Structure 1
Amino acid sequence: MSRLTGGDPSLLRRINSTVVLRSLCADTTTALTLTELGRATGLSRPTVEGVVEGLIEAGLVAEAPDDPADARISRRGRPARRFRFRSEAGHLLGIELGPHRVAAVLADLTGRLVGSTSRQVDEGASADLRLERARATVADLLRRTDIARDSLRAVGVGTPGIVEADGTVRLGTALPGWTGLALGERLRRSFRCPVLVENDANAGVLAEHWKGAARGVDDVVMVLAGLSPGAGSLIGGRLHRGFGGAAGEIGALHLLGREATPERLLSTTDEPLHPLDEAAVARVFARARGGDEQAGRAMDRFLARLVHDVAALVLALDPELLVVGGWAAGLDGVLDPLRAELERYCLRPPRVALSLLGDTAVATGALRLALDHVHAELFTVESVDAAHTPDPTQRPPALP
């Protein structure tokens, strides 16, 4: 590694470009003059002017039209030029690959939603068929929003399973053919930009922290409640994935000496439910609410198991907030018993709230992954060799 010095021109350009972009993005509703940018960044006017011209050439900044209602515009002489961040210079995509559907959301470089769509998929679909359905869903969304595919700067993906850093699903029992699938590699063939793959519960907690029930809360656990629940956690505002990406897999706790699987706990017959049969679970809950004693006992067993699983995480992490999402969150009778039981078993029970994003949480969290990736490229100065530090005026290199 070569030695960095204060006079390194590439590093200085990187720093200057970063601070100017940060200032322009601090309030995307207001365009700034060169003088205002100089005041905000501490850079000289000639430096700011040079940086802005470079960012204009790169397509990240544009000169804003004069606004007659703007009091800053002088009535005499030529008005000062004002500049804005071009949020439309690129787009971000978030994808959910779930057991029953594929969903996609599209946004500009500030995270402002441009469009969304979803398609149903059979729970027994093969990996190839599910990926083909995802590609068709994305193609439909891009066509309807009139966004070119090469405008995408990053793609985030949320999916069930333990996901490694390169996007390989190390273990994924919810979807056929998912264990061992090189999901990131397969999807990168369809996009000329970085593709980031994350566990669905991890994506969900990012979404709730960004736009949902956990806004302003930095220590939070989100549970995707179902027959095999999973959880995503933020500690100090940062996603906790664990060493191998398996943090929060509380659905495996029944393996630790708990004799009955979740599918048997909710069964009212001698046959276990199918792990992905949400309609059958809903029928059990409905019968329990109607006074059916056998269904009521099944529902009590399910809630007891959910409390057991969630309490383990609450005791370990001591979150301020527990957000309950997933399909079971929509079934009456889950939230209040969960809250009451956590108060019994936890030393300091957290606040408990339902997800505000519902079935859009995973795709929204995947979008947040893409947004964070691009913003890190545009707005972060890495303390590494300048020759290896990405320039925000350059499009991220295409992955193979």
Structure 2
Amino acid sequence: MENSGGDLQRLRRLNSLASLRELRAAAPLTLAELARRTGLSRASAGEVVGDLVARGWVAEVPPVQGAMGRPARRYRFRSDAGHVLGVDIGVHKVLAAVTDLTGQIVAGGRTSVSPDVPREGRLAAVDRAVTACLSMADLSPADVWAVTAGTVGVVDLGGRVARVHSLPDWAGVDLAAHFRERFGAPVRVANDSKLAALAEQRLGVARDARDVVYLQVGRRPGAALIIDGRLHHGFGGASGEVGLLEAARWLRMAEHLERHPRFAEAPPEQAAGAVFAAAWQGDAAAVEAVARYAADLAVGTAAMVLTLDPELIVLGGGFSRAGDVLLEPLRRALEPLCLRMPEIRLSELGENCVVLGAACLAVDEVNRLLLSPDDPFLKLS
């Protein structure tokens, strides 16, 4: 890279970015190890690391106590050099999390909210969760380098909710503008299923996969695509919205669970969980209800599988906690519809999946701006 020519300032920035990438991806490295990984000479690696230490991006690791002789100096990426904010805006709750630059959660905030709360009340709940999170992390809005929010509904590339079924007046809200009023940092907004898929690809069960169909299964199902290792947004941000197709039957498939005669009087949020539990215990009507739910889920899933031919399907969302009670019926329903049946794995990230994906996308934004002409982040003191 050091011999690639071009503008000297840009060349130095490229060398710095290459070094940062290697230090972030590995245990502490010596200058010789860093030079070998980046293709720089040892002298150039030393100059780059010295500059990054001065800017606050990199720190020298103290030598191991009791080591014989004079050990080579080792350096690590300072994941605490900056922080990003991820937010998950759901139907019943708002989650916020501050993470370091590796996506590790530093502090979190949660606020419960009712599905029938109007837009202003939901935005106020978002602000409360964010305020609690920043307070716990002892940070101000000025300390946040990038913000990403995930929300139910279809989100356009400008950060506005374009369409949503589960919240009465949420369509049309400009979430990007709402966050920009409070933060001077870059802001991204995306559908919650997309961010959950990104979290699985970076931190979860899809880390070894390049092409993935992610299913967010619950009373409000969603889907997202990872193509060649990258989250696919689509031309207008509406990729993966198979559930909007009436023929896929996703919008009503939860009714198979909610109409179980033993639990029909329970609140819908509780009925589904009770049916999965009854199916696990062998209740014939519950087993049949889960099978019908899985059959409907398989229709839209098959459309994406036949289009993408993924190596992996990840099952996330609230219903994924049902485990094999849902996994096996889905596999049986899906296999006859596919030319090649991909592996199916259950998410292990739990409730934080969307907020972790939001943090990952915010970190990506920081990484993208590292090479901007204004050099906004390599000016740390």
Alignment TM-score > 0.5, same fold: yes
* Structure exhibiting the larger radius of gyration computed from Cα positions: 1
- Matched residue SS, 1:393: coil
**Change in CA separation of 1:85 and 1:303 when aligned onto 2, cut-off 3 Å:** closer
Q: Is contact 1:228–1:251 with CA below 8 Å preserved after alignment? A: no
Residue 336, structure 1, aligned to residue 328, structure 2: yes
**Residue 73, structure 1, aligned to residue 70, structure 2:** yes
Alignment partner of 2:301 out of 301, 307, 310:
310
**RMSD over aligned Cα, in angstroms?**
3.3
Between the aligned partners of 1:246 and 1:160, the Cα distance in structure 2 is 12
> What's the CA shift for 1:256?
3.5
Deviation at 1:100, TM superposition (A): 0.9
1:200 and 2:197 aligned: no
Partner amino acid for 2:24? Answer: C
**Pair 1:89–1:125, CA change in 2 (3 A):** same
Counterpart position of 1:385: none
Matched, 1:354 2:346: yes
Distance 1:72 1:138, change over 3 A: farther
2:244/2:251 contact within 8 Å kept: no
| Alignment: residue pair count | 373
1:109-148 matched pairs, under 5 angstroms: 109-148=101-140
Question: Which residue of structure 2 lines up, in the alignment, with residue 179 of structure 1?
Answer: 171
Paired with 1:325 and 1:259, the residues of 2 have a C-alpha distance of 15
Q: What is the aligned partner in structure 2 of residue 30 from structure 1? A: 28
- Give distance in 2, aligned partners of 1:22 and 1:298: 49
Q: Bigger relative contact order, structure 1 or 2, given CA contacts below 8 A and separation 6+?
A: 1
Deviation, structure 1 residue 108:
1.1
Whichever residue aligns with residue 313 of structure 1, its letter is M
- How far apart are the structure 1 equivalents of 2:250 and 2:331? 25
2:359 aligns to what SS in structure 1? helix
Distance 1:115 1:70, change over 3 A: farther
User: Could you tell me which residue of structure 2 aligns to residue 281 of structure 1?
Assistant: 272
Q: Which residue of 1 aligns with 2:203?
A: 211
Letter in 1 for 2:11: L
Show structure 1 runs of 5+ residues with no match: 75-79, 383-387, 396-400
Which runs of structure 2 are paired with 1:1-400 in the superposition (5 Å)?
6-27=5-26, 29-30=27-28, 32-33=30-31, 37=34, 41-43=38-40, 47-48=44-45, 50-71=47-68, 73=70, 83-253=75-245, 255-256=246-247, 261-262=252-253, 264-266=255-257, 268=259, 277-285=268-276, 298-331=289-322, 333-378=325-370, 388=373, 390=375, 392-394=377-379
Normalization by structure 1: what TM-score? 0.81
Identity %: 40
The TM-score normalised by the length of structure 2 is 0.84
Tell me by how many angstroms 1:50 deviates. Answer: 4.9
Q: Is the 8 A contact 1:268 1:294 kept in 2?
A: no
Q: Residues 46-99 of structure 1: CA distance to partner in whole angstroms, max 9, x if unpaired?
A: 65555445434433234554554455726xxxxx76644322111122111111
The letter of the residue matching 1:377 is: L
User: Offset at 1:165?
Assistant: 1.5
Mapped to 2, the partners of 1:257 and 1:303 lie a distance apart of 12
Q: Secondary structure at the residue paired with 2:167?
A: coil
Contact kept? 2:250, 2:296, Cα under 8 Å: no
CA deviation digits over 1:212-270, x for unaligned, max 9?
A: 221201111111112342101111111122222222112222x2496994365445399
